[in-house]
């Protein structure tokens, strides 16, 4: 596991605007999302990143390509960086979920960390995957790696690296266009 890393979220997508759960399905980057990726690349141009580890999902992969091309870094696909699997709820808005799965929101609220999306996974399961992703990126990269991932798995990556409990992990947020520099004791936005 790397001692220090940079973490970026993919650029804005069509489904982000529609407030649809993406999970491991995909929707394309918007024009704004492409600009966010370009801005991240410019911000990272002089920080010495030589390896970019990315989720294989299209929105993250496209963001990672834009960044890696600009900074001249190696691009490494890490399947464990894929977003939390939303299973049967992927592609739906919460209004659609409330109609099709009327108890889902209440069940999730009762145990948000341990609750698994129907046909998908829980945050607890995703955290184990995040641990593997950190190990893979540590072995595959030289220097300080940049990881390009997603909102929900990003929470688990940050929690795992910093040793946060479930409550603090779930409280984390990662807006588009933000890069976090993270080590075992702290994190800061670049």
Q: Which of 32, 35, 80, 83 is catalytic?
A: 83
Residue 129, token pair as written in the block: 């995957």
Distance CA 144, CA 190 (A): 14
- Are 35 and 122 within 8 A, CB to CB? no
Among the listed residues 10, 86, 174, 176, the single catalytic one is 10
Beta carbons of 173 and 34 less than 8 angstroms apart: no
Is 83 annotated as catalytic? yes
**What are residue 70's phi and psi, to 5 degrees?**
-70, -40
Is the Cβ–Cβ distance between 93 and 19 less than 8 Å? yes
For residue 3, indicate whether it is catalytic: no
DSSP H stretches of helix in the chain: 14-18, 31-43, 58-71, 94-100, 104-110, 123-140, 151-162, 166-171
Catalytic amino acids? 10, 83
């Amino acid at each position: 596991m790397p001692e220090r890393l940079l973490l970026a979220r993919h650029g804005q997508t069509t489904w982000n605007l529609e407030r649809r759960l993406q999970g491991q399905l995909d929707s394309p980057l918007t024009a704004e999302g492409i600009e966010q990726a370009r801005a991240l690349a410019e911000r990272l141009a002089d920080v010495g990143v030589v390896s970019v580890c990315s989720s294989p999902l299209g929105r993250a992969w496209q963001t990672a390509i834009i960044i890696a091309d600009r900074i001249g870094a190696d691009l490494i696909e890490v399947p464990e960086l894929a977003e939390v699997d939303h299973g049967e709820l992927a592609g739906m808005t919460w209004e659609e979920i409330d109609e099709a799965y009327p108890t889902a929101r209440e069940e999730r609220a009762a145990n948000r960390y341990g609750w698994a999306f129907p046909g998908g996974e829980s945050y607890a399961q995703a955290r184990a995957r995040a641990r593997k992703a950190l190990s893979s990126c540590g072995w595959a990269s030289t220097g300080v790696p940049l990881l390009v991932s997603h909102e929900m798995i990003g929470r688990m990556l940050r929690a795992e690296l910093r040793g946060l409990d479930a409550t603090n992990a779930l409280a984390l947020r990662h807006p588009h266009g933000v890069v976090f520099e993270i080590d075992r004791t702290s994190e800061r936005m670049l």
